[in-house]
Amino acid sequence: MNIILKQDNDANMIHRYKNNGYNIVLDVNSGCVHVVDDIAYDAIGLYDEGECNICGVLMERYPDENREDIEELISEIDSLKDNGELFSEDIYEDYIFDAGSRETVVKALCLHIAHDCNLACRYCFAGEGEYHGRTALMSAEVGKKALDFLVAGSGNRRNLEVDFFGGEPLMNFETVKEIVRYGREIEKKHDKKFRFTLTTNGVLLNDEIMDFANKEMSNLVLSIDGRKEVHDRMRPSRNGKGSYDVILPKLIKAAESRNQTDYYVRGTFTHFNTDFCEDVLHLADLGFNQISVEPVVAPPSEEYAITEQDVAKICDGYDRLASEMLKREKEGKGFNFFHFMIDLNGGPCVYKRLSGCGSGTEYLAVTPWGDIYPCHQFVGNEQFLLGNIEEGIKKKDICADFKLCNVYSKPKCRDCFAKFYCSGGCAANAYNFHGSILEAYDIGCMLQKKRVECALMLQAARNEEENK
Amino acid sequence: MKHIKTLNTRNLKESMKHGGCGECQTSCQSACKTSCTVGNQTCEKKK
């Protein structure tokens, strides 16, 4: 019973960690999450290390425990292993290479409705909204052709997503309305369902736009960074004045008008506010229930870029945020933080987790003049220009590269416990930092791993609360 | 089990049997535009 052969760490990976008083063991390949007591935590660790005399080591470490109890614990571990819930094997790799030859369909478009903006956010990857190129607004004609392109390329997928993005899309609101109207016309004809979303800085929001958005937009992403001084520092208007006071009342009204669902206030934190937890809590204190605040991605030359030295403080911030969220949930003041969301029971299937975000294959971005790029972050980089909505995809070889971009083709991902949660991360970030979409942006990986740990801890704590 | 509590989890291997319909949301369309987060998406069949 207590003679156990060493596990192959690569193939039968587990991740064991302690967080907020919980001992958690994630079985990476099955996705099973185990909450264990101290002795089980040690036993699984010894098992993983290939210790031959687990019972003996544990009896020495826990002199109050008797041999029968320890043997029972080891049989619990064996039983989980036999059921494929612990030290389970990776059986997906062969599948992913078969999947490479499969035809993919387009199911989501990011429409760059306006390459223009009424703010001049310092961290904007679009170069203050203009994508380092000409200022331009999408015409309704281009938008409609983009929807035709999406429908034609979507095969038998029924749910199709279209995000109105910018720049600031509300600077071209009449076109948004016309594209939506056209979408509603053609979806019946083709048995499709468009899910429209709008990403806005909120400056131009008014009652008319909100009425339209509440009727037509399945999700609304409202940009705000948190505390006034934090927001205003990075999100000034064109005249240099902060935008917080202008947008806040509009965002509060928008969130209320959607009954606090189907929207996100979305912020970016930088090197200047590594205490971003306070910004998340500020947004929660303002009454927002759906919150997404994520780290800026910027070249190291920018003074606001997150550095490796910031990582420890940011990780502490995630811990504090998770524990504060639990406290507020108990007080009936809970809120949702997008990057801690994890649905263990109803989450995505393994195919989704293997295929990543879908950029360059299922998800494409369209510029105001109809050019197609792998995603919004590649727009403006001519090397990644895939084609246009008139002639379709011309650079199929680039799409093929994106199709093969997955956790098994990325050396850094293969042995990472979080690979089935981030699916290999953002291709644009990988390219911008390392010149290859098969790389991974290291700071992003460190923070992603911490978020997964916190998300699993929250599930463990909620489970405990439910079973009290 | 006495020492180990397993959370109610969808076994990824089981999801191979009925998964892959592709109807689920694209991750970047929700609320992240710079950090890919797939694990928090909802399965369309499980809704």
| Interval A97-137: pLDDT, tens | 565 566 789 999 999 999 999 999 999 877 766 677 778 99
Residues of chain B contacting residue A161, judged by C-beta atoms under 8 Å apart:
25-26, 29
Whether residues B12 and A353 touch (CB distance < 8 A) is answered with yes
What distance in Å separates residue B19's CA from the closest CA in chain A? 5
Residues of chain B contacting residue A431, judged by C-beta atoms under 8 Å apart:
none
Fill in the DSSP letter of residue A6. P
What distance in Å separates residue A222's CA from the closest CA in chain B? 9
The arithmetic mean of pLDDT across residues A415-438, rounded, is: 92
The arithmetic mean of pLDDT across residues A18-46, rounded, is: 97
Percent of chain A with pLDDT over 70: 95
| Interval A154-196: pLDDT, tens | 999 999 999 999 999 999 999 999 999 999 999 999 999 999 9
Identify which of A30, A297, A356 has the shortest CB distance to residue B34. Answer: A297
- Residue B36 — very low, low, confident or very high, per pLDDT cuts 50/70/90? low
Whether residues B19 and A351 touch (CB distance < 8 A) is answered with yes
Residues of chain A contacting residue B7, judged by C-beta atoms under 8 Å apart:
32-35, 344, 459-460, 463
ipTM: 0.88
What is the average pLDDT score of chain A? 93
Residues of chain A contacting residue B38, judged by C-beta atoms under 8 Å apart:
348, 352-353, 356-357, 421-423
Does A303 score more than 80 pLDDT?
A: yes
Question: What's the pLDDT score for residue A104?
Answer: 81
What distance in Å separates residue B16's CA from the closest CA in chain A? 6
| Interval A190-243: pLDDT, tens | 999 999 999 999 999 999 999 999 999 999 999 999 999 999 999 999 999 999
**Of A90, A59, A18, which Cα lies nearest the Cα of A408?**
A90
- d(CA A406, CA A351) in angstroms, rounded, equals 11
Question: What's the pLDDT score for residue A129?
Answer: 64
| Interval A351-381: pLDDT, tens | 888 877 889 999 999 999 999 999 999 998 9
Question: What's the pLDDT score for residue A4?
Answer: 40
| Dihedral sign for Cα atoms in the order A428, A430, A434, A439 | negative
Greater pLDDT, A2 or B21: B21
Look at residue A15 and give its three-state secondary structure.
strand
Identify which of B3, B15, B36 has the shortest CB distance to residue A40. Answer: B3
Q: Which residues fall within 8 angstroms of residue A217, CB to CB, at 6 or more apart? A: A196, A197, A198, A262
The arithmetic mean of pLDDT across residues A401-411, rounded, is: 88
Q: Which of A47-56, A126-135, A305-314, A412-421 is the least confident region?
A: A126-135
- Residue B11 — very low, low, confident or very high, per pLDDT cuts 50/70/90? confident
Asked if A74 and A43 touch (Cβ cutoff 8 Å), the reply is yes
What is the average pLDDT score of chain B? 75
- Residue A94 — very low, low, confident or very high, per pLDDT cuts 50/70/90? confident
Pair of tokens at residue A43? 């036993």
Residues of chain B contacting residue A85, judged by C-beta atoms under 8 Å apart:
6, 11
- Residue B30 — very low, low, confident or very high, per pLDDT cuts 50/70/90? low
What distance in Å separates residue A65's CA from the closest CA in chain B? 13
- Residue A59 — very low, low, confident or very high, per pLDDT cuts 50/70/90? very high
What is the CB neighbour count within 10 angstroms for residue A327?
11
Identify which of B2, B24, B35 has the shortest CB distance to residue A352. Answer: B24
Neighbour-count burial for A288-310, b at 16+ CB within 10 Å, e otherwise: bbbbbbbbbbbeeeeebbbeeeb
What distance in Å separates residue A380's CA from the closest CA in chain B? 16
Q: Number of A:B CB contacts under 8 A?
A: 224
Percent of chain A with pLDDT over 90: 83
Percent of chain B with pLDDT over 90: 11
Please, which residues 6-45 of chain B have a Cβ atom closer than 8 Å to chain A?
6-13, 15-16, 18-20, 22-44
Chosen for mutation from B17, B26, B44, B47 (greatest number of chain A CBs closer than 10 Å) is B26
Residues of chain A contacting residue B29, judged by C-beta atoms under 8 Å apart:
108, 110, 161, 163, 195, 197, 219, 363
Question: What's the pLDDT score for residue A103?
Answer: 75
Chosen for mutation from B2, B8, B9, B47 (greatest number of chain A CBs closer than 10 Å) is B9
